[in-house]
Each structure stands twice: as structure tokens, then as C-alpha cells.
Amino acid sequence: MSERLDVRKTYKLLVGGAFPRSESGRSYEVLDAKGRFLANAAQASRKDVRDAVVAARSAQRAWWSLTPYNRGQVLYRLAEMAEARAGELAEQVGRAEGTRAAEARAAVGRSIDRLVWYAGWCDKVAQVLGGQNPVAGPYFNFSVPVPSGVVGVLADQASSLEAFVDAVAAPLATGNAVVALASEARPIPAALIGEMSATSDLVPGALNVLTGRTGEVAPVLASHEDVDGLDLAGVDDGFAGELAALASETVTRVLRGADPQDRGLKRLRAFVETSTVWHTIGQ
């Protein structure tokens, strides 16, 4: 009996709730920490970035229109799916980062806990970041946090899962749509989260995941006129400075200098605006 050949998977992009190959037709090999072949990944092009931003913009209003409770339930559902596939995630994290099985399982556990944490914040952000303001007159005046809109995320290159989850879950929790560029060398765990999100009741296009060459596509994302925020917490200072300069040309809000796995409220605050609402006091 002849020995069977492995079916080598090609991980595709996640754009608008669908899984297209790169419009350029390109892919690249993903290797493990020891340089052995893991899989192929789609190599996103400039057009793929633009398509992902269009999808995010189209989805953002529908995602924000859900009640905060419902958004939390969707993120919690994503955590449930990650829990069900924790073994697969741990295997991929371990192979990508070269860690022991126990360390990889612990990293996956922390990532799932973070999804639950952000799910819980969806209906609490308004109370913490907003409030009622004192005014001299027969009016109510409220400060209400609202999403910036479309947020571009450059995932940390070293952390294949944990930092990625923190970077995308925070803007999603506050009602933003996300275009995320996964770690170039370690994209598979992020691609798996993308696969799970497509069946988690997340509005199609609210999360878009691109894989490819960071140096090629990151400047396109940073300079895009329809991107409202850019998370560069996982990018080294030199490259982050170049991308921030590009983002400044379109007055894009930029997050820099944060811990890629920030555990506080900094990421929740990073991409919200404050809307002031006045309302008369009824008689």
C-alpha cells in the first residue's frame, strides 16, 4: 500500500465574511520555529488591503447598531468556539513560537480569557468612559463614547495569538470594525481566529484578517484615507514611526507605546470618540 501524501492547507484571507485568495494569486510558505513547513498562507496585495477597508466600512455601522449586550454575546460566542478548538490553537501556537505544549496551552487559555474579558466590557464601556455632566440650565448633558470607525491593526510579530486577540478584541468591543494584518512569520493562529469569527454571529466585515508581507501592505493600510485609527503597539519603533508619519497625512488616530498585550483600559480608550448629547428636562 502506497504512503499517502499530506494535504497541505493554504490559509486564505478573511474579507467581508468571505475567504478569498489574494487577488494577486500569491501565497507564501509558513514555517515553524525550527524552519519546517507548516502551511501556505495567502500573500495579500495592496488591492486586498483596500477591499478589506471597504468591507470594514460597510460593516461598521451594522456592528455598532447592535446593542452592547449583543456585541458582548458575539465576542463570548467567539470565545466559546476558541475553547472548542483550543487543542488545535495550542498546537499551532507551540509550533509557531517553539514553546512547550504546556506553555502553548497556557497562552491559548489566556487568549480565550481575554475574549471573555472584552465581551464583558461591551456593555460597561459607556458607564466608565462616559457620564452625565453638570450644566447651568434645564438640560441633561451626557458624554457618550462612540467608535472611531475603521481601525487598522498590525499584529505583534512575536506573539502569534495572545497579542493578536488583545489588539482586535478591544476595538471590536467598542463598536469599531477592524482590518488586522497578522504576524508575517506566525499567521496561522490569527487565521484560525478569523475562521472562527465567520460563524460566531459577528457582522460580516466587522473583522477582516490579512496575511502577507508586513513591509508591503502595512504602509497601504497606514496611509488609507478611510482608516480612522491605527494600532501600532506591536510594531518596532523605527517602522512604527514611518507608519505613523503616513497616518498623520490623513489625520488618523495612532496608538503607540502600549504593551502589545496590554491588560488595562488603554486599548478600550484608544479608538473611541466622545459625543456630547443635550436633552431638555421634561416637565
Q: What is the pLDDT of residues 204-254, one digit of tens each?
A: 999 999 999 999 999 999 999 999 999 998 899 999 999 999 999 999 999
- Give me 233's grid cell: 503597539
Q: Name the CATH superfamily for 10-280.
A: Aldehyde Dehydrogenase; Chain A, domain 1 (3.40.605.10)
Predicted local distance difference test score (pLDDT) of residue 272: 95
Instruction: Report the pLDDT averaged over residues 161-178.
Output: 95
CA nearest 121: which of 184, 76, 82?
76
Tell whether the torsion through CA atoms of 95, 96, 98 and 100 is positive or negative. negative
Q: Which residue has the cell 487559555?
A: 109
Predicted local distance difference test score (pLDDT) of residue 83: 97
Residue type, 173: A
Beta strands in the chain (DSSP E): 10-11, 27-31, 37-42, 131-133, 139-147, 150-154, 177-181, 207-210, 229-231, 253-255, 272-280
Of 83-87, 197-201, 220-224, the range with the lowest mean pLDDT is: 197-201
Is the pLDDT at 144 greater than 80, yes or no? yes
Instruction: Report the pLDDT averaged over residues 184-198.
Output: 95
CB atoms within 10 A of CB 168: 30
Element containing residue 233 per DSSP (H, E): none
Record the pTM. 0.93
Predicted local distance difference test score (pLDDT) of residue 260: 53
Report the interhelical angle of 162-173 vs 101-121 (nearest 10°).
10
Determine phi and psi for 65, rounding to 5 degrees.
-75, -20
- Length of the chain in residues, anyone? 283
- In the chain, what are the domain boundaries? 10-280
When the pLDDT of each residue in the chain is averaged and rounded to a whole number, the result is: 92
**How many Å separate Cα 175 from the centre of its chain?**
12
What percent of the chain has a predicted confidence (pLDDT) above 90? 78
Question: Tell me: the pLDDT tens digits for 16-32?
Answer: 999 999 999 999 999 99
